[in-house]
Structure 1
């Protein structure tokens, strides 16, 4: 590397001023290939001999370029090849209005496109100091990893912005900070005490499965096709103690560095885009869910081009006065993942990785083992330990399933207390959905697509409405918005003395067994009747406001919800009076089966109707659309129930009694219509 100093002579009256101008010889490269040797005039810091271009980005995406300080870069090619390559490079930037990005230490450099592209065009380079000093919300020196002196409320972004204008200020010292504090307006910013992490977990204090549901929602939003949820035992390095660790692994799209930052941030700007298939809305799901389940959580996520580690930990932050969240990001370089220096300097990455290894059970070998689970694909893995406790034990208990075992030997994760959630009018204590994760995940989604395994065995997810008998579709209008309700009867819920509405929002279960109408006042009225309704249109305002609690376990007290309760009560009472009351009084021993039996393809995840004469017990564990009895293709559309139709089941058993004919007569008198 050649370093030159040019003396500039300025004569003002009789005073002579000397100014030292720094000029450096720099070799510019891209993808480790030489572009051209250049001369760099007045850079803000002494640069290395080789500058590597990380990527190019549209100039329109960096609106602050015109406000940044600049220095010049002039080509000094050593041969014809370098001259040609420089011309190609300039032509590319000029033609597509691109900016070449370079990251060096705490500086970000932007090579601006020239006005006219040629093989000898000089260019300007804008630069700024990256916000690399912060591991937590306090500044941290990038090289030493030690925290810098607290700014007393000084906005770090403004400090950096001011510092970029100091052309030769290469050291960010305490003197610089004091100077900046005296020249910048003071703003007030809040401090996040680590105790706030525990407070976040109290969002799901009433029901711990709400925390797991938040993480399942994130996997669904990431378009995951499968998800594994299990608890196993791991050894803590500091204490040597064996503790349980909850693992949640999916094959979704994964998250890049910016998305990980958004996930661990305490809320983020809500998108105005209305995506009915997207559940995440409030920006707090991961934090509230993870901190309810345990004190420490590690996230390992991978996209096609990146991999990131994020550590949300109460153990790490114990005794500190601000929350620190270590994040390490990598980018793909060929077949390997290397530290992404465009997102953090190497010193910061090493510091964060060291913190993760020190305060978690994960060392480089275990991180490598878990990374190998991606198998070159994408996805997200969440590991939670120091799990919430119930007395001397843990809030959750878990049982591994047996391969090929019956439904009684399937793996499950249970709430240790096995308490039933409180609902107005409910007297039944047999509600497995309240304490069995397997039972909850069976009906968590209105139309389940994702394969979910709990403790190693597959959850038989099901669209609840398809597993009812005597089904009827009711349509209506609430506050000018259309709504559709599917009502039916469940023999199993009748035996458990359960009934009520299942309310879904964006395809996700928000309330289960909600009693309405006469169900509230009598345990016998509506017994066994189940309603399924998607209230997305009603509970989402056009101005972006939603009437759902941020824990997604209930609805706000609002006019739409009050009108919904009234409408559901009316329809449920009508349905009970017209279709079931007299029938059930005469036939207490009848066993009602679903109007149709359904099977889900293990490839396309679509639901197919089985013929009435087909024995579902003959189905293999893995079933596909081409198999009997469907013999179709995955591209065939799903069959849906038409609105306003009533399906009367012909599959009943246990009613061989003298009044069998009277039962048929009552069914004929109900004036229902069977669908084909």
Structure 2
């Protein structure tokens, strides 16, 4: 295969060039002692051996002194098609991952740089330094402060009469660029400033190593017009962000108001990883450093795991937000894991495994104590047959060993405990584990307290993780002190997802998910349009919330609960108004401005103060008040507080995770702890699609402007009579509803006084 360079309209074969052009030196390029291809050097330094063996790869951005090194070209001189293919694969890998191939020879250390995007892989740049001359620390430091980004492009480069375009990574030294910019304001003859419009040439001698007999001259073509200054080229010192270890503690303050928000961040990551099972528990482990048993919070899922690049992205402090709002993904801001883990404890270890890789990452305040800059050890492995070996394409074995040593010294994890935890991946083969210790404290104890449920699958006393303070979150108009969702993780996770699919275990007890929209009585669906966007609210009465004196709207975003028990309309002004009334709404579309920005707080515990949210509050208040006026007087309190059951009972299959509607009047308490589709009363198959709610069960209310139409009143009366027949049969005759003529109730006015309605008979 012939390779060459265009010169004067003809193709010049490199192998035919005379010795003085520097193309005479052939090199056999190898990786792990296996030949990649034969190559030719363009002006290499002296005493360059003919065999190069690539030992490792490193990211280009990590070699900070790279731009201080001298350079030459390497061109393929393939002997057959196989070598050409291997050369293209080799350079393609460097280009795709922005990697530098490193070869250490007796006298030189070589860095083969990745080619530019769109390059045809015709040639590649090799940076090098002579071990005899050395690269002093002062030079390295100078390179760091002088330039940390890509070098500027200056004209074209001449190599002994051969002209080729200079790419950004070809310039041999930035000293040349600075000297050129300084010289650009002088006449080429040294007679002051040049005003001629004619082109001129400025020659500069490349700095060569001692004893290098291939010294050559570089000629840069410039114009006489004023040249950019050194400041424009960015040659002055730049400022870059440095993360102090104390920043980890600052990150945890994002969830300082409610610690369950930190756990929710980890649950979100598991759902985004398409996990089907998630376990959250606290266990006691022995810490050699503490000399005693300490509690450790573990969050383990069976999702698809993370590759090395993905876990590095996870550990990075924020990343570029996606250009579009993915409805199937909750994670967006790039800080969820860091804020969640550092709120729960001081140290967190992540074990993750995909089908072909495994990674261990350590985010630790203890490890970084007293340091000036934050260090996050990461060790990555790749699968080789039945075993996992250190992935030397992303780190050296020495670095991996050093990182593992840091983890062992600053954590309860030794190689045996790590191996034990990795054994949990055997069931499915993939997943992620997050282990957090040195948990946040509450006085002399911990902020969290935990209890293990009774054995035998009893639903009476389940395991749970509680907030030790037991405080409820502040909400306008709320007087009740019984809001289990605020201090019980079991209760919170029951509602966390609008359509729960993932099996979640807390302290080894299964969370019985409750889809709120399917557990209401007198259910009504309200359709609205806010700022041109469609919204749908499901509203109804919940017996459990009535007994707890709770009410409000549950606001979901991407199917995840953001705000609970949000009081709107008359609920804010009176503790009795709206009691037991619950609304469910997903406002993913409304909270997206269409340009990739979402109006959600980064801790996902509230919405930003914006016009769409203000309009939503106004609409929700109006709908909730209308629903209350239309239905409250028709609901009676029987002697002994009659129970109002949901319109339909629903149960979730423990295998397919689909929700099944049970027949009317069926007592859900008769179901076993684990229920499957083939069992009574469904007696079906897991492949059967989920049922849709019958059209006659949910009443879609008409637009209402302060009055009740005859048709709406009749529909409401029929539904109430149905409820009284099925749920409150056996009551006194005096307790029944007394409709007016033709079954139409008179217009309903809002009650401003407290206490029971006139239709309610309290005994």
> Which TM-score band (shorter chain)?
0.7 to 0.9
Q: Which residue is equivalent to 1:593?
A: 645
Corresponding position of 2:609 = 557
Distance 1:545 1:36 in 2: 47
1:574/1:318 CA distance change after superposition, 3 Å: same
After superposition, what is the alpha-carbon deviation per residue over 1:335-394, rounded to whole angstroms, capped at 9, x for unaligned? 222222221222222222221111111122222221221116211110100000000000
Q: CA 1:189/1:617 → structure 2, altered by over 3 Å: closer, same or farther?
A: same
Deviations 1:72-125 (A, max 9, x none): 34456xxxxxx5743665798999999898844794665999999xxxxx9644
Which whole-Å CA distance do the structure 1 matches of 2:500 and 2:677 have between them?
17
Does residue 320 of structure 2 align to residue 272 of structure 1?
Answer: no
Distance in 1, Cα, partners of 2:92 & 2:262: 50
2:485–2:491: 8 Å Cα contact kept in structure 1? yes
Question: Match of 2:585?
Answer: 533
1:523 aligned to 2:575?
yes
Work out whether 1:392 is the aligned partner of 2:395: no
With normalisation by structure 1, the TM-score equals 0.80
Alignment length (residue pairs): 605
Secondary structure, counterpart of 2:343 in structure 1: helix
Q: Hey, what does 2:733 align to over in structure 1?
A: 659
Q: Give the corresponding residue for 2:410.
A: 359
State whether residues 302 and 308 of structure 1, in contact with CA within 8 Å, keep that contact through their aligned partners in structure 2. yes
Give, in angstroms, the shift of residue 421 of structure 1.
0.8
**Match in the other structure for 1:469:** 521
1:332 paired with 2:329, answer no
Q: Gaps spanning 5+ residues in structure 1: where?
A: 1-7, 12-18, 55-67, 77-82, 117-121, 130-143, 171-181, 672-676
Q: Deviations over 1:173-219 (max 9, x none)?
A: xxxxxxxxx99332122322111111110110000000000110111
Q: 2: distance between equivalents of 1:602 and 1:567?
A: 38
Point out the more displaced range, 312-321 or 153-162.
Answer: 153-162
Contact 2:125–2:170 (CA under 8 A) maintained in structure 1: no
Unaligned runs of 5+ in 2: 1-17, 58-70, 104-109, 129-136, 153-167, 174-205, 210-232, 702-718, 747-763
Q: Does 1:639 align with 2:691?
A: yes
Q: What is the RMSD computed on CA atoms of the aligned residues?
A: 4.1
Aligned to 2:332: 281
Paired with 1:169 and 1:488, the residues of 2 have a C-alpha distance of 82
The answer to whether the 8 A contact 2:285-2:293 is kept is: yes
Whole-angstrom CA distance in 1 between matches of 2:270 and 2:314: 13
Q: Do the aligned residues in 2 keep the contact of 1:25 with 1:49 (CA within 8 Å)?
A: yes
SS of 2:678's partner is coil
Deviations 1:396-433 (A, max 9, x none): 00001123353332110000011111100000000000
- Pair 1:638–1:670, CA change in 2 (3 A): farther
CA distances 1:48-79 after superposition (whole Å, capped 9, x unpaired): 7655899xxxxxxxxxxxxx964134456xxx
1:86 maps to 2:83: yes
What is the Cα deviation at residue 434 of structure 1?
A: 0.3
Return the alpha-carbon distance in structure 1 between the equivalents of residues 700 and 340 of structure 2: 40
- Name the stretch that deviates more: 619-628 or 505-514: 619-628
1:670–1:541: structure 2 CA closer, same or farther, 3 Å change rule? farther
1:290 matched residue in structure 2: 341
Structure 2 CA distance for aligned equivalents of residues 612 and 169 of structure 1: 90
Say whether the 8 Å CA contact 1:591–1:652 is kept in structure 2: no
Shift of 1:28: 5.3
Give the 3 Å change call, closer, same or farther, for CA 506–49 of structure 1 in structure 2: same
Conservation of the 8 A alpha-carbon contact between 1:127 and 1:164: no
Q: CA separation of 1:216/1:46 partners in 2, compared to 1, >3 Å: closer, same or farther? A: farther
User: What secondary structure sits across from 1:611 in the alignment?
Assistant: coil
Q: CA shift at 1:572, angstroms?
A: 0.8
Query: Are 2:262 and 1:211 equivalent residues in the alignment?
Result: yes
Mapped partners of 2:657, 2:414: distance in 1? 37
Contact 2:301 2:431 in 1 (8 A): yes
Question: Which residue is equivalent to 1:379?
Answer: 431
